[in-house]
Structure 1
Amino acid sequence: MLNSKKTALFNVHEKYGGKIIDFSGWQLPVQYESITLEHEATRNKAGLFDVSHMGEVEVTGIDAFKFVQNLVTNDISALEDNQVLYTFMCYETGGVVDDLLVYRFDEEHFFLVINAGNIDKDFEWMNKNSEKYNIDILNISDKISQLAIQGPNAQTILQKLTDIDLGEINFFYFKRNVNIAGVSCLVSRTGYTGEDGFEIYLENTKVEYVWEKLMEVGKKLGLKPVGLGARDTLRFEVALPLYGNELSKDISPLEAGFEFFVKLEKDDFIGKEALVKQYTDGLKRKIVGFEMIDKGIPRHGYEVWAHGKQIGFVTTGYASPTVKKNIGFAIVPVEYSKLGTIIEIKVRKKFLNAQVVSKRFYTKSYKKQQPYRV
Structure 2
Amino acid sequence: MSRLQTPLFSIYEQHNGKTIDFGGWDLPVQFTSIKEEHEVVRTKAGLFDVSHMGEIEVKGQEALPFLQKMLTNDVSKLKDMACQYNAMCYENGGTVDDLVLYKREDNHYLLVVNASNIEKDYEWLKQHATEKVEVINVSNQYAQIAVQGPLAESITQKLTKEDLSTITFFKFREGVVVANKDVLISRTGYTGEDGFEIYCRPDDAISLWNALLDAGKEEGIQPCGLGARDTLRFEARLPLYGQELSRDISPIEAGIGFAVKVDKKEDFLGKVVLKQQKEDGPERKLVGIEMIDKGIPRTDYEVFKDGEKIGFVTTGTQSPTLKKNVGLAIIDKKFQAVDTVVEVQVRKRRLKAKVVKTPFYKR
Q: TM-score, normalised by structure 1?
A: 0.95
Matching residue of 1:296? 295
Residue aligning to 1:154:
152
The Cα shift of 1:199 comes to 0.5
Q: Deviation string for 1:73-96 (max 9, x for gaps)? A: 000111110000001000000000
For 2:208, the aligned partner's letter is V
Pairing of 1:274-285 with structure 2 (within 5 A): 274-285=273-284
Q: Secondary structure at the match of 1:36?
A: helix
User: Where does residue 362 of structure 2 map in the other structure?
Assistant: 363
Deviations 1:88-126 (A, max 9, x none): 000000000000000001111000000000000000000
Structure 2: gaps (5+ residues): none
Name the residue aligned to 1:119.
Answer: 118
Please list the CA deviations of residues 190-241 of structure 1 after superposition, one character each: whole Å capped at 9, or x if unmatched. 1111110000001000000000011111111110000000000000001110
Aligned position for 1:96? 95
Deviates more, 1:304-313 or 1:39-48: 304-313
C-alpha displacement of 1:310: 1.7
Q: How far does residue 281 in structure 1 lie from its aligned partner after superposition?
A: 4.0
What is the distance in 2 between the residues matched to 1:244 and 1:145? 23
Alignment of 1:71-82 (within 5 A): 71-82=70-81
Contact 2:257 2:278 in 1 (8 A): no
Q: Which runs of 5+ in 1 are unaligned?
A: 365-374
Equivalent residue letter for 1:279? K
Q: Which residue number corresponds to residue 65 of structure 1?
A: 64
Paired residue secondary structure (1:352): strand
Instruction: Confirm whether residue 242 of structure 1 aligns to residue 240 of structure 2.
Output: yes
**For 2:283 and 2:215, how far apart are their aligned partners in 1?**
51
Residue aligning to 1:370: none
Q: Aligned partners of 2:25 and 2:218: how far apart in 1?
A: 31
Deviation at 1:135, TM superposition (A): 1.2
2:105 corresponds in structure 1 to: 106
Distance apart, 1:266 and its partner CA: 1.2
Q: Distance in 2 between matches of 1:279 and 1:136?
A: 32
Residue 196, structure 1, aligned to residue 164, structure 2: no
The residue matched to 2:143 in structure 1 has which SS?
A: strand
* Partner of residue 272, structure 2: 273
Q: Counterparts of 2:303 and 2:3 in 1: how far apart (Å)?
A: 34
Aligned residue in 2 for 1:312: 311
Matched residue pairs, number? 362
- The residue that corresponds to 2:215 in the other structure is 217
Amino acid at match of 2:242: G
Deviation of the 1:283 alpha carbon: 1.3
For the residues of structure 2 that align with 1:309 and 1:315, how far apart are their CA atoms?
A: 18
Q: Secondary structure at the match of 2:243?
A: coil
Return the alpha-carbon distance in structure 2 between the equivalents of residues 54 and 101 of structure 1: 11
Question: Matches of 1:280 and 1:7 in 2, distance apart?
Answer: 43
- SS of the residue aligned with 1:43? helix
**Per-residue CA distance 1:45-82 (angstroms, 9 max, x = gap):** 00000000000001111111111111100001111100
Runs of 4+ aligned residues of structure 1 deviating over 2 Å after TM superposition are: 277-282
- Measure, in 1, the Cα distance between the counterparts of 2:235 and 2:278: 27
The residue that corresponds to 1:262 in the other structure is: 260
The 1-side partners of 2:223 and 2:156 are apart by 14
Rounded to whole Å, the distance in 1 between the matches of 2:309 and 2:164 is: 50
Distance 1:286 1:82 in 2: 33
Confirm or deny: 8 A CA contact 2:291 2:354 kept in the other structure.
Answer: yes
- Quote the Cα distance in structure 2 between the aligned partners of 1:70 and 1:171: 26
Partner secondary structure for residue 286 of structure 2: strand
SS in 2 for 1:219: coil
Determine the C-alpha separation between the residues in 2 that align with 1:281 and 1:345: 28
Aligned partners of 2:296 and 2:326 also within 8 Å: yes
1:345-360 mapped onto 2 (5 Å cutoff): 345-360=344-359
Q: Within 1, Cα distance between the matches of 2:205 and 2:322?
A: 34
Hey, what's the Cα distance between the residues in 1 that align with 2:281 and 2:163?
Answer: 47
Counterpart-to-counterpart distance in 1, 2:182 and 2:281: 49
Distance 2:67 2:146 in 1: 25
Percent of counterpart pairs with the same letter? 53
Q: Is the 8 A contact 2:4 2:25 kept in 1?
A: yes
